[in-house]
């Protein structure tokens, strides 16, 4: 186990190096000049700016310095916010994205399991049809449409009630989290509902459920101990990757709901060609994803004996 | 399945759902702790709050930074305008008012400012002439790499310092004593007083600046204020709080105690929703949200913001657009009225006719009244004639596609598509749209990789020169390489002369040359349409200087 | 009685009669049979075919240029009335003779070309603000502030701002010397605006023949837009068709390319095995680890979009670069598995050449999985295109795509909902159809299911 963990960690580090290298070279061949601005500046000022960001050095040296800095955890200073470090930016904005992402995954998982179980219970009856209709919507409507509609319904609701029970946009309190994370988790929720439904139906027909029923076990017990518990397993397996993709995929929701997450900053920095922020964010997110996957794998190894073979 | 077990399963499911809900609440508390969120939203934060003398507003982007020596964008400028005060400032009508300076004398050779005794920093220490000397030197030091250093160039030795040829101590700005600041000019100058209201001329106190160790302006605690408000909280990308500055010398004229900025978003729909929800005191309308505001029966207001937008030609020798007849063809085929009334569809916009906007002041009246130009002429027949002439002059069988370089914002794309369609329909010319993000567009402009480029110019100071020297051959912002010796001569007069009548005549000449030579196709002057909370009074919208300005606003009692 | 009936010779022996079997079905025949039995899959297949027909054949039937801007019909909903009167071309307003009357009034008949208002002097107000409203004005809301008129400029105002054939309420409000609006002294009139077009404009748009004898005041019918127009007056139906080309092209070609690349890469790795396999798969692992959306954006910026280009190719390339490893892993796994199957070993023992092995066993047995992967990759590629459009990094205008159309539509969601709903429906239906098709294919091609029956 320890050897396996060690091996995976080394692999992870190499992967992060790969991501960092890819980002570095992609960024350096991007056309455009991050140092230009609306008012043209003199040659001298340009040179000073280049020197400040080390852009005057040969590419190989820049790459070396960049790797050295990453290794020591320093992602540099932002080009547009000239007195802020990228580390600060990530430290301030990543928790926002993470909070949103975690809650979205939890919403998706709880909703998926609940709706999935319900549809299986009411198979081919009205609740099943209604829920599956929404699932179909959830899978096939782009997230930005959902986000806009979500915000619109909030405004309408607040207007109708005459008081604002939930904030329309912004950040700062738990209420601000609710609707955006719900919207963010919607697609995954729909996916999980489908998964849960089919897995519930499969389990319901399984031999051990029939045996349990024949033994005369109470229906509640059968439902909780046998059906639900076994049906949830496949759902849990897909949760790990979902956390990572949702956390990094919050751009749309962050833009629409004016949430100061890292995704929004990334899009902004791309538009501003802010080299250091772009590279820093990518490397950070890449590293985050890699180590999330490793962590999830290791946890599975602990839980499920079948995976522990290696 | 029999009914009883089915309902039992349902009950079990309901129980589990209830348990999950409990777990969810717990989880949200944990998240709130880690993401530094409050449990309950502060309900008192309405758009306007009479009791607490507080308003909430939305800004469209996070200010990149609040270091006045480096700030370049409108949002930073707006916030700094509330937090800082220069020697002079603009009032609601765009007239210069005393700021930190109590009185001043400007002669062609220099200026002397007498500072008021009661001007204070937000820590209670007096604002002195040394603070101006320090910040102005800072702006010009090459290490600062300020984009706006050029605005200090009228001061003697400024340019040389900025280019690294002289130490910044050589700047001809001296603090005669704590309250007297004297400035010597590089060459005789007529409008220095209009420059010192600009952001880059704000003071910075040396000991504080040095104590922040390179972080000056990065966070609320890394700033010291001398304006009407102080910034007490700055959560990046999320929230800014400004409170009335108890040490501001003119604090009696400030009614508001607090300005909250709880929302930062460029999305016009989100902004509108926030206004509808009663969360922000003012919101700018876009063509998309205008009808919505109309449906909601809000009092809509209009303001001529005055930034001039135009299509700039590439005059480099190898380009087809160097041909005057081709430029004329495109000029006469453009219908700026159609562009404004059918494509932009916002009130407050004016169809363009000149590089100089209608609001800019001349000698006695507006410059455009002293030197009028007619409305933009549309004449498709004439345009086709010029195109035919151009075709013959250039020896072409057929025109190759022309490249129109634009920014990638929805507004500029929309206009680019309009131009593409118009030139195709009227002249049969193919236009290739080259939409680029801001920095890439700038680079392509600098390298001359375009035939036409959609550009705009916002004024920096209240003198026609802010537009007048744009197409001088030495101006680095003249990225289309328009060259005209006649124009250069007029720009030199406008820059160097002290005779206002002569200067205005020069601007009139510049305007004529640009139109005769078709250096650009003026498109429009931008307008702004907005709705403000009906109880908010004294909101200032202005063309030059911080906009919008809430510092003199008050709230009407219900 | 014929002789044949009396033929007592033994009947011919038929082996067929004794065999009670269903017809032998190949894998693909069986899959097709299953597919046909599933109504949902068949519906989605029909939808997919319909979409392809809409995209490919549509522009041949509905021959309207999607870039053509009908500035007389901006953002009109489907089925809006389209009759218009012919008028003179616009001429600047020269107010020679004063219009008789009192108070705020029209100087000329109001049309979508211009509305001209005049009113009377009031000594005390140096200026007036002119408003236009779509609803009867209230005490506070007068509508859109059109502009300010100074007393010195003459008491008249011409409105040309996005006029629609509807009823407007024009108000003038005196402004006092301190720039305050004197709301109590306002005047309001109701104005019915009729839709007009110039003769030249009608000719240019082909609404009337070149030689048709038409004169001012005659009625014409404006161009037909069955699904309405967008914010620049472009035909929605034509844009949806051409947008389908982009969206479906990216949605289908990109997955096709990266699945093919993945298949090639994966089968090489699986077939060669050993150190090469390890090396190749490590590289695939690296590419998988790149944060997808972030690199999608970076690649888009890196490749850039040149002047006049639509930006489809860079998007395609970026999708392919980032998309292949998943398929490669899958195919490699399949190949490794099949390689160990007894029938492959048997074939190999019998001396089958490698080419035969690949063609006869490897490909047919992995094709099902590949096909299913492909079907599920299509919706995600379509979503990616829409997402990139939303953050402003999609295809370059004037090229339409469903994603960019719905992104534009979302801004005017409440005012002209058709601009959002139509492209959004197309995205949803396409995504749904391919998802259902994928489900059906998976059921039909799953060998495990085949043995259960």
Question: Does B286 reach chain C within 8 Å, measured CB to CB?
Answer: yes
Task: List all residues of chain A from 240 to 279 with a beta carbon under 8 Å from chain C.
Answer: 245, 248-249, 251-252, 255, 266-267, 270-271, 273, 278
Query: Which of B162, B194, B213 lies at the terminal end of a domain, its last residue?
Result: B213
For an interface test with A, give the residue of C279, C291, C296, C425 to mutate (most A CBs within 10 A).
C291
Query: Could you say which of A31, A81, A170 has the minimum Cβ distance to residue B440?
Result: A31
List the CATH code of the domain at C42-66+232-449.
Answer: 1.10.3720.10
Query: Could you say which of C71, C138, C415 has the minimum Cβ distance to residue B291?
Result: C415
Q: Do B119 and B194 belong together in one domain?
A: yes
Q: Hey, is B72 helix, strand or coil? A: coil
Question: Does B251 reach chain C within 8 Å, measured CB to CB?
Answer: no
**Gap between the Cα atoms of A76 and A281, Å rounded:** 11
pTM: 0.87
Question: Which residue carries 């190989």 as its tokens?
Answer: A60
Chains adjacent to A (≥3 CB pairs closer than 8 angstroms) = B, C
Residue B79, domain member (yes or no)? no
Partner-chain contact B432 C412, CB within 8 Å = no
Instruction: Measure B179 CA to nearest chain A CA, in Å.
Output: 31
Question: Which residue carries 């009113």 as its tokens?
Answer: C119
Query: Could you say which of A26, A31, A267 has the minimum Cβ distance to residue C391?
Result: A267
Partner-chain contact B417 C147, CB within 8 Å = no
Partner-chain contact C161 B437, CB within 8 Å = no
Instruction: Determine contact, residues B306/B357, Cβ cutoff 8 Å.
Output: yes
Determine the pLDDT at residue B246: 93
CATH superfamily of C86-198: Immunoglobulins (2.60.40.10)
Q: Do B415 and B509 belong together in one domain?
A: yes
CATH number of the domain enclosing B329: 3.10.105.10
Question: Does A152 reach chain C within 8 Å, measured CB to CB?
Answer: yes
Instruction: Measure B549 CA to nearest chain C CA, in Å.
Output: 17
Confidence of residue A240 (pLDDT cuts 50, 70, 90): low
List CB contacts (< 8 A) between C383 and chain A.
Answer: 142
Question: Does A294 reach chain C within 8 Å, measured CB to CB?
Answer: no
Residue B53, domain member (yes or no)? no
Question: Does C43 reach chain A within 8 Å, measured CB to CB?
Answer: no
List CB contacts (< 8 A) between A202 and chain C.
Answer: none
Partner-chain contact B442 A33, CB within 8 Å = yes
Instruction: Determine contact, residues A210/A222, Cβ cutoff 8 Å.
Output: no
Determine the pLDDT at residue A142: 84
Q: Do B504 and B379 belong together in one domain?
A: yes
Partner-chain contact B61 A31, CB within 8 Å = no
**Gap between the Cα atoms of B443 and C6, Å rounded:** 102
Partner-chain contact B432 C307, CB within 8 Å = yes
Q: Do B100 and B26 belong together in one domain?
A: no
Question: Does A209 reach chain C within 8 Å, measured CB to CB?
Answer: no
Q: What is the pLDDT of residues A124-178, one digit of tens each?
A: 788 888 888 888 888 888 888 888 888 888 888 888 887 777 888 888 787 888 8
List CB contacts (< 8 A) between A143 and chain C.
Answer: 387
Instruction: Measure A85 CA to nearest chain C CA, in Å.
Output: 20
Partner-chain contact A110 B24, CB within 8 Å = yes
Q: What is the pLDDT along chain B (558 residues), one digit of tens a residue?
A: 445 566 667 777 788 788 888 888 888 778 777 777 776 666 556 888 888 899 999 998 888 878 999 887 889 999 999 999 999 998 888 888 999 999 999 888 889 999 999 999 999 999 999 999 999 999 998 888 888 888 899 999 998 998 888 898 999 999 999 999 999 998 888 788 888 989 999 999 999 999 988 888 888 999 999 999 999 999 888 889 999 999 999 989 999 999 999 888 888 888 998 998 888 999 999 888 888 889 889 989 988 888 999 999 999 998 999 999 999 999 999 999 999 999 998 888 999 999 999 989 888 889 999 999 988 888 999 999 999 999 999 998 889 999 999 988 888 888 999 999 999 989 999 999 988 888 888 888 888 899 999 999 988 888 899 999 999 998 888 989 999 999 999 999 998 888 889 999 999 999 999 999 999 999 999 989 999 998 998 899 988 888 899 999 999 887
Determine the pLDDT at residue C19: 58
Residue B296, domain member (yes or no)? no
For an interface test with A, give the residue of B18, B31, B65, B215 to mutate (most A CBs within 10 A).
B31
Query: Structural domain of residue B26, as residue ranges?
Result: 4-45
Q: Largest Cα–Cα distance of chain C, in whole Å?
A: 129
Question: Does A166 reach chain C within 8 Å, measured CB to CB?
Answer: no
How crowded is residue A60: how many other Cβ atoms within 10 Å of its Cβ? Answer: 8
Domain total of chain B: 3
Tokens at residue B180, please? Answer: 């007297």
Instruction: Find the residue in A nearest to C286 (Cα).
Output: A15
Query: Could you say which of B291, B299, B341 has the minimum Cβ distance to residue C161?
Result: B341
Task: List all residues of chain C from 243 to 302 with a beta carbon under 8 Å from chain A.
Answer: 285-286, 289-295, 297-299, 301-302
DSSP string computed for C152-193: GG-SEEEE-SS--SSEEEEEEEEE-TTS-B-GGG-EEEEEE-
**Among residues C20, A238, C68, which one has the least CA distance to residue B418?**
C68
Query: Which of B180, B213, B246 lies at the terminal end of a domain, its last residue?
Result: B213
Q: What is the pLDDT of residues A25-82, one digit of tens each?
A: 888 888 777 777 766 667 777 777 787 787 888 888 888 888 888 888 888 888 877 7
List CB contacts (< 8 A) between A92 and chain B.
Answer: 235-237
Question: Does C427 reach chain A within 8 Å, measured CB to CB?
Answer: yes
For residue C432, how far is the Cα from the chain centroid?
15
Instruction: Find the residue in A nearest to B276 (Cα).
Output: A155
Q: Hey, is C77 helix, strand or coil? A: coil
Domains of chain A: 91-272 (1.10.3720.10)
Determine the pLDDT at residue B42: 61
Q: Do B367 and B493 belong together in one domain?
A: yes
Query: Could you say which of B42, B237, B270 has the minimum Cβ distance to residue A169?
Result: B270
Q: Do B158 and B39 belong together in one domain?
A: no
Instruction: Find the residue in A nearest to B409 (Cα).
Output: A271
Residue B297, domain member (yes or no)? no
CA distances B499 to A257, B112, B361, B495, Å, are 54, 21, 15, 11
Determine the pLDDT at residue C447: 52
Partner-chain contact C144 B338, CB within 8 Å = no
Average pLDDT, chain C: 82
**Gap between the Cα atoms of B67 and C217, Å rounded:** 64
Partner-chain contact B264 A218, CB within 8 Å = no
Determine the pLDDT at residue B530: 93
List CB contacts (< 8 A) between C432 and chain A.
Answer: 136, 139-140
**Gap between the Cα atoms of C73 and C164, Å rounded:** 9
Residue B549, domain member (yes or no)? no
Instruction: Measure B363 CA to nearest chain A CA, in Å.
Output: 27
Strands in C83-87's sheet, in edge-to-edge order, are C196-198, C83-87, C219-221
Alpha-carbon torsion (B410, B412, B414, B417), positive or negative: negative
Residue B179, domain member (yes or no)? yes
Instruction: Find the residue in A nearest to C386 (Cα).
Output: A142
Chains adjacent to C (≥3 CB pairs closer than 8 angstroms) = A, B
Q: What is the pLDDT of residues C47-66, one digit of tens each?
A: 889 988 888 888 888 888 88
Q: Do B394 and B441 belong together in one domain?
A: yes
DSSP state of B127: P
Q: Helix B3-34 and helix A86-121: axis angle, to 10°? A: 170
Query: Could you say which of B298, B340, B437 has the minimum Cβ distance to residue C141?
Result: B298
For an interface test with A, give the residue of B6, B9, B234, B445 to mutate (most A CBs within 10 A).
B9
β pairing state of C196-198 and C83-87: parallel
Instruction: Find the residue in B nearest to A178 (Cα).
Output: B28
Instruction: Measure B324 CA to nearest chain C CA, in Å.
Output: 23
Instruction: Find the residue in A nearest to B2 (Cα).
Output: A219
Partner-chain contact B299 C414, CB within 8 Å = no
Residue B91, domain member (yes or no)? yes
Size of interface A-B (CB pairs under 8 A): 237
pLDDT averaged over consecutive 10-residue blocks of chain C (453 residues)? Answer: 62 61 69 79 87 86 85 84 86 72 83 88 81 89 88 85 91 86 87 89 80 79 87 90 88 90 86 83 82 80 78 86 86 82 83 78 78 82 85 81 87 85 89 84 63 36
Q: What is the pLDDT of residues C18-49, one digit of tens each?
A: 555 666 667 777 778 877 887 888 888 888 89
Task: List all residues of chain A from 172 to 191 with a beta carbon under 8 Å from chain C.
Answer: none
Strands (E) in B217-275, as ranges, are: 229-235, 239-244, 258-264
List the domain boundaries for chain C.
42-66+232-449, 86-198
Residue B420, domain member (yes or no)? yes
Name the β-bridge partners of B407.
B436
Question: For residue C206, which phi and psi values (nearest 5 degrees)?
Answer: 70, 25
Task: Using only the alpha carbons of chain C, give its radius of gyration.
Answer: 34
**Gap between the Cα atoms of C206 and C222, Å rounded:** 9
Size of interface B-C (CB pairs under 8 A): 118
Name the β-bridge partners of B173.
B183
Q: Do B347 and B208 belong together in one domain?
A: no
**Gap between the Cα atoms of B468 and B463, Å rounded:** 9
Instruction: Find the residue in C nearest to A255 (Cα).
Output: C391
Question: For residue C22, which phi and psi values (nearest 5 degrees)?
Answer: -85, 160
């Amino acid at each position: 186990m320890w050897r396996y963990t060690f091996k995976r960690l080394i692999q992870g580090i190499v992967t992060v190096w790969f991501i960092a290298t890819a980002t570095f070279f992609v960024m350096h061949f991007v056309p455009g000049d991050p140092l230009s601005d609306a008012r043209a500046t003199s040659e001298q000022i340009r040179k000073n700016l280049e020197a400040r960001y080390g852009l005057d050095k040969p590419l190989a040296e820049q790459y070396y310095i960049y790797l050295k800095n990453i290794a020591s955890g320093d992602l540099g200073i932002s080009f547009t916010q000239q007195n802020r470090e990228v580390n600060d930016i990530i430290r301030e904005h990543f928790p926002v994205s993470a909070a949103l992402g975690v809650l979205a995954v939890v919403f998706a998982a709880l909703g998926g399991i609940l709706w999935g179980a319900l549809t299986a219970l009411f198979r081919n009856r009205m609740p099943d049809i209604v829920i599956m209709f929404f699932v179909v919507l959830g899978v096939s409507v782009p997230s930005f449409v959902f986000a806009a509609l979500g915000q619109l319904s909030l405004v309408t609701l607040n207007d109708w009630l005459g008081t604002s029970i939930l904030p329309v946009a912004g950040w700062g309190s738990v209420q601000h989290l609710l609707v955006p994370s719900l919207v963010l988790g919607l697609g995954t929720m729909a996916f999980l509902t489908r998964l849960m439904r089919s897995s519930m139906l499969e389990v319901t027909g399984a031999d051990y459920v029939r045996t349990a029923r024949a033994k005369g076990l109470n229906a509640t017990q059968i439902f909780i101990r046998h059906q639900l518990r076994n049906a949830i397993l496949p759902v849990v397996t897909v949760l790990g990757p979902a956390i990572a993709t949702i956390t990094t995929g919050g751009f749309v929701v962050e833009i629409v709901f004016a949430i100061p997450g890292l995704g929004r900053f990334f899009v902004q920095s791309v538009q501003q060609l802010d080299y250091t922020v772009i590279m820093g964010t990518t490397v950070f997110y890449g590293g985050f994803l890699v180590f999330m996957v490793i962590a999830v794998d290791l946890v599975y190894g602990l839980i499920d004996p079948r995976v522990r073979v290696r | 399945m029999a009914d009883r077990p089915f309902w039992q399963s349902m009950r079990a499911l309901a129980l589990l759902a209830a348990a999950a809900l409990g777990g969810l609440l717990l989880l949200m508390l944990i998240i709130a702790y880690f993401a530094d969120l409050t449990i309950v939203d502060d309900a008192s934060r309405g758009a306007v709050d009479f009791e607490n003398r507080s308003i909430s507003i939305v800004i469209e982007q996070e200010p990149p930074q609040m270091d006045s020596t480096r700030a370049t964008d409108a949002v930073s400028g707006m916030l700094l305008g509330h937090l800082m005060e220069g020697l002079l400032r603009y009032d609601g009508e765009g007239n210069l008012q005393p700021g930190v300076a109590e009185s001043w004398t400007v002669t062609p050779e220099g200026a002397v400012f007498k500072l008021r005794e009661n001007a204070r920093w937000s820590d209670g220490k007096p604002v002195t002439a040394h603070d101006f000397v320090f910040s102005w030197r800072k702006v010009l030091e090459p290490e600062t790499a300020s984009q706006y250093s050029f605005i200090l160039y009228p001061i003697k030795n400024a340019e040389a310092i900025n280019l690294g040829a002289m130490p910044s101590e050589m700047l001809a700005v001296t603090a005669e004593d704590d309250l007297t600041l004297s400035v010597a000019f590089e060459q005789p100058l007529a409008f220095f007083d209009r420059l010192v209201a600009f952001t880059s001329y704000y003071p910075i106190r040396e000991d504080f600046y040095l104590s922040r160790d390179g972080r000056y302006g990065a966070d609320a605690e890394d700033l010291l204020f001398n304006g009407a408000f102080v910034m007490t909280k700055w959560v990046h990308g999320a929230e800014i709080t400004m409170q009335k500055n108890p040490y501001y010398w003119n604090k009696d004229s400030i009614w508001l105690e607090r300005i909250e900025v709880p929302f930062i978003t460029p999305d016009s729909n989100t902004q509108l929703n926030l206004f509808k929800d009663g969360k922000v005191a003012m919101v700018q309308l876009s063509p998309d949200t205008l009808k919505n505001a109309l449906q909601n029966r809000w009092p809509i207001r209009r303001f001529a913001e005055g930034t001039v937008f135009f299509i700039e030609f590439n005059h480099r020798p190898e380009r087809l657009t160097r041909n005057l007849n081709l430029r004329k063809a495109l000029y006469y085929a453009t219908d700026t009225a159609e562009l404004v009334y059918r494509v932009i569809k916002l009130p407050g916009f004016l169809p363009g006719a000149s590089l100089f906007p209608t609001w800019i002041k001349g000698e006695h009246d507006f410059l455009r009244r002293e030197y009028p130009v007619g409305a933009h002429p549309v004449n498709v027949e004439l345009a086709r004639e010029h195109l035919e002439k151009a075709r013959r002059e250039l020896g072409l069988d057929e025109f190759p596609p022309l490249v129109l370089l634009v920014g990638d914002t929805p507004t500029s794309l929309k206009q680019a598509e309009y131009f593409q369609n118009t030139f195709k329909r009227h002249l049969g010319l193919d236009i290739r749209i080259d939409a680029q993000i801001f920095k890439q567009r700038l680079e392509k402009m600098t390298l001359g990789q375009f035939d036409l480029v959609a550009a705009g110019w916002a004024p920096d100071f209240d003198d026609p020169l802010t537009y007048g020297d744009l197409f001088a051959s030495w101006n680095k912002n003249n990225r289309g390489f328009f060259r005209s010796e006649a124009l250069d001569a007029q720009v030199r007069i406008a820059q160097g002369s002290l005779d206002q009548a002569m200067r205005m005549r020069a601007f009139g000449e510049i305007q004529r040359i640009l139109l005769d030579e078709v250096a650009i196709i003026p498109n429009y002057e931008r307008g702004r349409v907005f709705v403000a909370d009906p109880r908010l009074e004294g909101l200032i919208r202005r063309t030059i200087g911080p906009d919008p300005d809430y510092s003199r606003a008050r709230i009407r009692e219900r | 009685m014929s002789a044949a009936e009396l033929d007592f010779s033994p009947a011919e022996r038929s082996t067929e009669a004794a065999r009670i079997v269903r017809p032998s079905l190949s894998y693909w025949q069986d899959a097709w049979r299953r597919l046909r039995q599933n109504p949902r899959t068949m519906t989605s297949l029909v939808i997919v075919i319909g979409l392809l027909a809409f995209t490919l054949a549509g522009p041949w039937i509905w021959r309207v240029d999607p870039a053509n801007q009908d500035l007389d019909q901006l953002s009109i909903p489907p089925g809006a009335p389209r009759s218009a009167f012919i008028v003179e071309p616009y001429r600047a307003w020269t107010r020679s003779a004063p219009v008789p009357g009192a108070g705020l009034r029209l100087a000329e008949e109001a049309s979508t070309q211009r509305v001209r208002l005049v009113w009377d002097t009031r000594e005390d107000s140096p200026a007036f603000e002119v408003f236009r409203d779509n609803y009867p004005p209230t005490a506070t809301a007068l509508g859109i502030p059109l502009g300010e008129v100074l007393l010195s400029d003459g008491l008249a105002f011409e409105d040309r701002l996005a006029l629609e054939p509807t009823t407007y309420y024009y108000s003038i409000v005196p402004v006092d010397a301190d720039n305050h609006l004197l709301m109590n002294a306002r005047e309001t009139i109701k104005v019915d605006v009729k839709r007009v077009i110039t003769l030249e404009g009608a000719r240019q748009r082909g609404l009337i023949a070149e030689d048709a004898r038409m004169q001012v005041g005659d009625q014409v019918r404006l161009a037909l837009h069955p699904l309405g127009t967008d914010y620049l007056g472009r035909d929605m139906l034509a844009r949806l068709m051409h947008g389908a080309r982009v969206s479906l092209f990216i949605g289908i070609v990109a997955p096709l390319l990266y699945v093919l690349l993945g298949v090639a890469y994966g089968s090489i790795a699986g077939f060669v095995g050993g150190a090469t396999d390890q090396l190749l798969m490590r590289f695939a692992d690296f590419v998988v680890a790149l944060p997808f959306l972030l690199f999608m954006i970076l690649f888009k910026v890196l490749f850039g979009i040149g002047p006049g280009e639509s930006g489809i190719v860079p998007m395609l390339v970026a999708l392919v670069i980032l998309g292949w490893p998943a398929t490669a892993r899958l195919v490699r796994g399949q190949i490794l598995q099949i390689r160990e199957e007894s029938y492959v070993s048997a074939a190999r023992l019998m001396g089958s050449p490698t080419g035969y092995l690949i063609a006869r066993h490897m490909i047919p047995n992995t094709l099902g999985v590949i096909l299913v992967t492909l079907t599920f990759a299509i919706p995600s590629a379509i979503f990616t295109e829409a997402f990139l459009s939303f953050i402003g990094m999609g295809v370059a205008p004037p090229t339409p795509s469903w994603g960019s159309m719905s992104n534009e539509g979302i801004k005017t969601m409440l005012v002209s909902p058709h601009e959002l709903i139509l492209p959004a429906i197309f995205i949803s239906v396409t995504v749904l159809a391919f998802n259902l098709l994928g489900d059906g294919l998976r059921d039909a091609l799953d060998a495990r299911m085949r043995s259960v029956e």
